[in-house]
Chains A and B, each alone.
Chain A
């Protein structure tokens, strides 16, 4: 079945540091890929998405590129802020199913 593996946290960075959170997937066909963010005490918000190979999703300074050859969708940000502290989830959706398969989440803490 489909699965998503993302790097274990927690990740602690200083403000303005570079962020990478690795995500790899296993799926049949050509899934769509997502990064969701969960701020403390809140629900999940879509951060960015990519629907086909080589697509780059971007939002709020975050980027991720759909790499079919390495089955990866790593999340990056050049300069993190304290307000980016949250749990980040990588997820995939097959084209013919009705669910998101999530990675285990990575807790990011950014210190001033």
Chain B
């Protein structure tokens, strides 16, 4: 059973388009995240949601809008795609209060290529 799943796995699109990436977790966790991994493999947090509430927004452009319809889903919508948005986007989840540490479980990633 897949714990954290993302769709699509690959996304190729033209500059200026709008696209969405979906994430679902079946672990019963209450916190979900989006990370961006650039071409040099550097990983950086974008957003964090706890019980459907946005708690972290790390200076991400307004073109990126996360949406959490329920605790098991966190989707990422990107407007007016730019070349610099090309990256691998990872979704993750964790359970708050799990022994005082934040073990996160990651999805397989979505490779976004903007042409």
Contacts and interface: CB of A to CB of B under 8 A. Distances in A.
A87 B63 CA distance: 30
B84 interface: no
B40 A104 contact: yes
Interface residues of B, number: 28
A97 B101 CA distance: 10
A49 B101 contact: yes
Interface string A72-110: 000000000000000101000101011111101101000
Interface in B19-76: 31, 33, 40-45, 48, 50, 55-56, 58
23 contacts: A38-B41, A42-B108, A42-B109, A43-B90, A43-B108, A43-B109, A44-B43, A44-B92, A46-B103, A46-B105, A49-B101, A51-B101, A89-B43, A93-B102, A98-B33, A98-B50, A98-B55, A99-B56, A100-B102, A101-B45, A104-B41, A105-B41, A107-B41
Interface of A: 32, 34, 36, 38, 42-46, 49, 51, 87, 89, 93, 95, 97-102, 104-105, 107
